[in-house]
């Protein structure tokens, strides 16, 4: 019984002890919760205290504000997972368990739902609240609003996406360098170096992709920008491709800040093709200059200097082209044999000339087959030659040739040899443009070598010719007054020179000089004075021409110069120089000095259509006649007047008149003018009306001109034009002119040609040139409906408008074969009506004033 009581007491004591323990634990828990609640309240960050199932135990004011619920009691007791966007709640529950298990979980991002339904981005860190025994009591959640940061990150991602979208498909290379490594490179930039972007980004730096000699340049450019000394710069450098080849690049880079660091962002262009194109262009230009220089030098070489000049030229071309050997082979025995006559070799390259003599061209069938056809023989790699060129390959391999090019030397359509270039130390590529230039050089050498032989032959021939004909020329072929050769000598000399020119293929030109109006010099000062002037001119010509040119006094006022070897361009230069000097030279004696005007013609072979030696004078005469038509005193070649020479005149009357006028131009101006005016009166033979009409038209035109107070010379020109305004009717058929009924359209169209015919007749006479517009345009109308060109208003010269008014009034008041003339008043009425349409109203009013004064 006692034992039972003791047992109950013990149990009671244990119960009391357990009760007190639980009381103390509850108190401790309460203290802990109150402590955490206090911490939650005073924390500057949003904090939520959850129980182990995720319900909210406590929140601070910052959390309330963040959630938008207004007061804490609306949150306390609420399921914390309900504040998380539905798609992430399972992950949140899992993370709560991990926090309870591990004690802490840091910086997990969620989308939280606010009271008004909007959402925010938050970063959550959580930790376990434990009791004194270390058991989990609650979970403390610290929230951080990262909505602004997330918006910035989204913008950053969008910008990066745009950047990549633009750059990935860009033609130009784009790169970013950070700490001397590529952190970005688009496919276009990587392709320049023969890589893929992933092979470069983060693995290679700029210097590893730079040709070693240019690494210093690239390093300096990067350092300047990274140190802030230079924001942006453009420069060119040589890069190294993956396969080891060199690529030329153009870079434009700028220093920028990225993630707080100073990096370089730039673009990259592959300029290799452009660089090589420019280099080739410069090379071609320099090559063309070289050809021009050699051409000039060869022209000036004598026959004795040609061999030395060719050897020097081979060295110049060889060094310029960067080859190891340059040479010339000449064909002989109708192309069956060839000899290496000229050769240049670079240092340490053995010459081959001595052993390459008297070679059988048939042994090199492949190569010579091309060259004899005038084709360039280009072998970029001797080692790759096929069996067709077995002999050539063996020979060139023996000479250690890696690449070569041979161009045919063509003279007068025949291949006389070939020019060759060998590359011994390396294979060499010649572009098509350079190959064409080499052909030009080949032709230059061909002409020079042919000229050497021709010069020798000519020299020998000349010596013989001089010996046998010297005395004869002195006695028979000289002009007595000037001492120059005469026209007899010319016939012989031009035949010989023309034969030589045809045989050698060299050009030949004849310069013919005709003194303009020299007859007036004789008329004014006498023939003795004229002879003195001609002697002085002959002396001046002798001093100005080349020593091998021949000067001939062809006629009284005509001189001819034969210029061997001169083409049209060279002869024109000489002719213009003669013309310029003679024009300003004072000829004569102490008492009288005169200056000469001259017309100069140049006829050239092979440029002009010359088949016989006599054609030189024929063409020169045609040129001079055309020059005289336009006033003379100039220099022309056949090319200058070729189009004019092809024109023909269809009307026989006009052609006869022109021929007569061309002869009249050789007389004094006054005599010619008088002849023209006298000839104009012969129109009365065809049309008596025209003769009377002209007299009255001249009267009215002169009176109108006076009223305009024009200068005296201008009034005289209007008077002369009025006299000649119907001169062109000489080219109209008599049937049309004398027809008594109204003209048909065809006949009227024929009549309309007379202003143009009149102008054409007078145009060769230079002192009538100023009145030609008055004659040509006197049938133009003020409103533009006249003929021949439809001019209107003040486009029509005043002189033509005056003659038109005078002509119209006189026509109205004159009797015609098919009608009676108007009275003065009727005519004035019609003139007023035509004013402003057919006629110039101002001129019409002046005529009316004139008529008012006249009775």
pLDDT digits (tens, 9 = 90+) for 619-647: 999 999 888 877 788 899 988 877 555 54
Tell me: the pLDDT tens digits for 48-76?
A: 999 999 899 999 988 888 888 988 888 88
Cis (ω within 30 of 0) for the bond into 356? no
* Residue listed under structure tokens 């208003």: 793
- The rounded mean pLDDT for the chain is 83
Query: What was the pLDDT predicted at 11?
Result: 53
- Cα–Cα distances in angstroms (integers) from residue 300 to residues 303, 306, 550, in the given order: 10, 10, 20
CA angle 193, 381, 243 (to 5 degrees): 15
Flag whether pLDDT at 147 surpasses 90: no
Q: Going along 287-395, which residue ranges are E strands?
A: 325-332, 337-345, 359-360, 377-379
Beta carbons within 8 Å of 73's beta carbon, 6+ residues apart: none
Tell me: the pLDDT tens digits for 687-714?
A: 544 445 678 888 899 999 998 988 888 9
pLDDT band for 664, please (50, 70, 90 cuts). Answer: very low
Which structure tokens are listed for 535? Answer: 């002697």
596 vs 431: CA distance, rounded Å: 56
Tell me: the pLDDT tens digits for 351-400?
A: 999 999 999 999 999 999 999 999 999 999 999 999 999 999 999 999 99
Flag whether pLDDT at 279 surpasses 80: no
Which structure tokens are listed for 608? Answer: 């002009």
Query: What was the pLDDT predicted at 783?
Result: 94
Tell me: the pLDDT tens digits for 225-237?
A: 777 655 677 888 9
The b-or-e profile of 296-320 (16+ CB within 10 A means b, else e) is: eebeebeeeebeebbbebbebbbee
278 vs 272: CA distance, rounded Å: 10
Helix (H) or strand (E) holding 48: strand 47-50
Higher pLDDT pick, 406 / 434 = 406
Tell me: the pLDDT tens digits for 430-446?
A: 888 778 888 888 888 88
pLDDT band for 817, please (50, 70, 90 cuts). Answer: low
Handedness of CA 675, 679, 680, 684 (dihedral sign): positive
pLDDT band for 541, please (50, 70, 90 cuts). Answer: very high
**Closest to 718 (Cα-Cα) out of 730, 731, 729, 705:** 705
Helix (H) or strand (E) holding 847: helix 841-853
**Gyration radius of the chain's alpha carbons:** 54
- Judge whether 402 and 380 are in contact, CB under 8 Å: no
Q: In what order do the strands lie in the sheet with 359-360?
A: 359-360, 337-345, 325-332, 414-423, 403-411, 377-379
Q: What is the CATH number of domain 279-455?
A: 3.30.450.40
CATH class of 661-853: mainly alpha
Query: What was the pLDDT predicted at 643?
Result: 56
Helix (H) or strand (E) holding 265: strand 261-270
- Cα–Cα distances in angstroms (integers) from residue 77 to residues 39, 70, 112, 139, in the given order: 19, 15, 17, 14
Q: What is the CATH number of domain 152-270?
A: 3.30.450.20
Q: Give SS3 for 408.
A: strand
659 vs 234: CA distance, rounded Å: 75
Sequential DSSP letters for 363-383: GGHHHHHHHHTT--EEES-GG
Query: What was the pLDDT predicted at 464?
Result: 75
Rounded percentage of the chain residues whose pLDDT exceeds 70? 84
Domain-by-domain residue ranges, the chain? 2-145, 152-270, 279-455, 477-646, 661-853
Query: Same CATH fold, 477-646 and 2-145?
Result: no
CA angle 103, 104, 110 (to 5 degrees): 135
Flag whether pLDDT at 36 surpasses 60: no
Q: What is the CATH number of domain 477-646?
A: 3.30.70.270
604 vs 445: CA distance, rounded Å: 24
Query: What was the pLDDT predicted at 161?
Result: 62
Query: What was the pLDDT predicted at 38?
Result: 62
Query: What was the pLDDT predicted at 578?
Result: 92
160 vs 785: CA distance, rounded Å: 74
pLDDT, mean of residues 106-122: 88
Residue length of the chain: 855
Beta carbons within 8 Å of 777's beta carbon, 6+ residues apart: 755, 789, 791, 796, 797, 800
Higher pLDDT pick, 735 / 218 = 218
Q: What is the CATH number of domain 2-145?
A: 3.30.450.20
Flag whether pLDDT at 563 surpasses 90: yes
**Closest to 560 (Cα-Cα) out of 514, 496, 595:** 514
Flag whether pLDDT at 562 surpasses 80: yes
Which structure tokens are listed for 706? Answer: 């006076």
Taking each helix axis from N to C end, the angle separating 798-813 and 688-707, rounded to the nearest 10 degrees, works out to: 130
Tell me: the pLDDT tens digits for 70-96?
A: 888 888 889 989 899 888 889 989 988
DSSP category for residue 84: B
Helix (H) or strand (E) holding 122: strand 119-130
- Judge whether 187 and 168 are in contact, CB under 8 Å: yes
Higher pLDDT pick, 854 / 191 = 191
Flag whether pLDDT at 27 surpasses 80: no
Flag whether pLDDT at 654 surpasses 80: no
Higher pLDDT pick, 723 / 344 = 344
7 burial type by CB count under 10 A (0-12 exposed, 13-18 middle, 19+ buried): exposed
Tell me: the pLDDT tens digits for 470-499?
A: 655 565 678 888 889 988 888 889 999 999
Helix (H) or strand (E) holding 434: helix 432-476
**Closest to 846 (Cα-Cα) out of 717, 698, 708, 719:** 708
274 vs 278: CA distance, rounded Å: 6
């Amino acid at each position: 019984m006692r034992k039972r009581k003791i047992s109950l007491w013990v149990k009671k004591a244990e119960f009391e002890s357990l009760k007190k323990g639980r009381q103390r634990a509850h108190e401790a828990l309460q203290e802990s919760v109150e402590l955490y609640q206090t911490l939650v309240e005073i924390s500057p960050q949003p904090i939520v205290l959850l129980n182990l199932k995720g319900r909210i135990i406590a929140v601070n004011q910052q959390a309330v504000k963040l959630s938008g619920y207004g007061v804490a009691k609306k949150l306390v007791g609420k399921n914390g997972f309900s504040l998380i966007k539905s798609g992430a709640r399972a992950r949140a529950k899992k993370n709560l368990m991990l926090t309870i298990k591990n004690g802490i979980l840091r910086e997990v991002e969620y989308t939280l739902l606010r009271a008004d339904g909007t959402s925010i981005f938050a970063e959550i860190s959580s930790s376990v609240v434990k009791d004194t025994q270390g058991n989990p009591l609650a979970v403390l959640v610290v929230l951080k609003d990262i909505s602004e940061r997330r918006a910035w990150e989204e913008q950053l991602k969008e910008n990066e996406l745009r950047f990549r979208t633009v750059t990935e498909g860009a033609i130009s290379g784009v790169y970013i360098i950070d700490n001397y490594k590529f952190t970005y490179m688009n496919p276009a930039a990587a392709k320049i170096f023969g890589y893929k972007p992933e092979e470069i980004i983060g693995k290679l730096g700029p210097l590893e992709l730079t040709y070693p000699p240019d690494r210093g340049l690239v390093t300096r450019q990067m350092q300047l920008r990274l140190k802030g000394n230079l924001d942006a710069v453009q420069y060119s450098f040589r890069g190294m491709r993956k396969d080891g080849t060199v690529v030329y690049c153009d870079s434009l880079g700028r220093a920028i800040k990225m993630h707080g660091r100073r990096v370089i962002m730039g673009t990259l262009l592959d300029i290799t093709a452009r660089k090589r194109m420019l280099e080739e262009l410069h090379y071609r230009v320099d090559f063309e200059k070289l050809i021009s220089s050699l051409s000039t030098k060869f022209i000036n070489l004598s026959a004795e200097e040609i061999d030395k000049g060719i050897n020097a030229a081979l060295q110049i071309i060889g060094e310029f082209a960067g080859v190891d050997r340059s040479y010339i082979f000449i064909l002989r025995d109708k192309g069956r044999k060839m000899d290496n006559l000229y050769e240049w070799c670079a240092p340490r390259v053995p010459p081959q000339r001595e052993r390459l003599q008297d070679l059988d061209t048939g042994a090199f069938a492949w190569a010579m087959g091309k060259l004899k056809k005038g084709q360039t023989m280009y072998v970029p790699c001797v080692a790759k030659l096929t069996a067709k060129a077995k002999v050539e390959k063996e020979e060139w391999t023996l000479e250690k040739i890696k690449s070569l090019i041979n161009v045919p030397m063509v003279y007068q359509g025949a291949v006389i040899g070939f020019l060759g270039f060998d590359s011994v130390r390396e294979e060499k590529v010649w572009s098509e443009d350079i190959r064409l230039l080499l052909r030009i050089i080949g032709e230059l050498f061909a002409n020079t070598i042919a000229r050497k032989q021709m010069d020798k032959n000519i020299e020998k021939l000349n010596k013989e010719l001089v010996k046998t004909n010297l005395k004869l020329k002195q006695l028979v072929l000289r002009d007595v007054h000037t001492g120059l050769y005469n026209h007899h000598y010319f016939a012989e000399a031009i035949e010989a020179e023309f034969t030589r020119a045809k045989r050698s293929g060299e050009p030949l030109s004849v310069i013919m000089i005709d003194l303009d109006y020299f007859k007036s010099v004789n008329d004014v000062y006498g023939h003795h004075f004229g002879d003195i002037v001609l002697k002085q001119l002959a002396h001046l010509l002798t001093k100005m021409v080349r020593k091998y040119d021949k000067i001939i006094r062809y006629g009284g006022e005509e001189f001819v110069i034969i210029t061997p070897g001169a083409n049209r361009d060279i002869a024109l230069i000489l002719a213009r120089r003669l013309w310029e000097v003679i024009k300003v030279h004072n000829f004569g004696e102490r008492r009288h000095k005169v200056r000469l005007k001259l017309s100069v013609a140049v006829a050239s072979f092979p440029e002009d259509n010359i088949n016989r030696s006599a054609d030189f004078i024929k063409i020169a005469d045609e040129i001079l006649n055309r020059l005289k038509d336009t006033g003379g005193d100039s220099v022309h070649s056949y090319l200058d007047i070729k189009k004019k020479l092809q024109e023909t005149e269809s009307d026989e009357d006009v052609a006869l008149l022109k021929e007569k006028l061309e002869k009249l131009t050789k007389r004094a101006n006054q005599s010619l003018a008088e002849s023209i005016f006298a000839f104009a009166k012969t129109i009365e033979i065809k049309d008596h009306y025209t003769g009377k009409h002209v007299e009255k038209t001249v009267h009215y035109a002169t009176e109108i001109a006076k009223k305009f107070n024009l200068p005296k010379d201008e009034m005289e020109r209007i008077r002369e034009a009025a006299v000649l305004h119907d001169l062109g009717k000489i080219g109209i058929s008599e049937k049309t002119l004398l027809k008594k009924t109204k003209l048909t359209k065809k006949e009227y169209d024929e009549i309309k040609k007379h202003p143009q015919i009149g102008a054409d007749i007078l145009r060769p006479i230079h002192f009538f040139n100023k009145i030609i517009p008055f004659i040509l345009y006197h049938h133009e109308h003020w409103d533009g409906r006249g003929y021949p060109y439809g001019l209107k208003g003040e486009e029509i010269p005043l002189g033509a408008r005056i003659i038109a008014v005078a002509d119209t009034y006189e026509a109205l008041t004159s009797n015609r074969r098919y009608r009676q003339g108007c009275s003065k008043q009727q005519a004035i009425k019609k003139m007023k009506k035509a004013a402003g349409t057919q006629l110039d109203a101002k001129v019409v009013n002046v005529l009316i004033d004139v008529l008012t004064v006249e009775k």
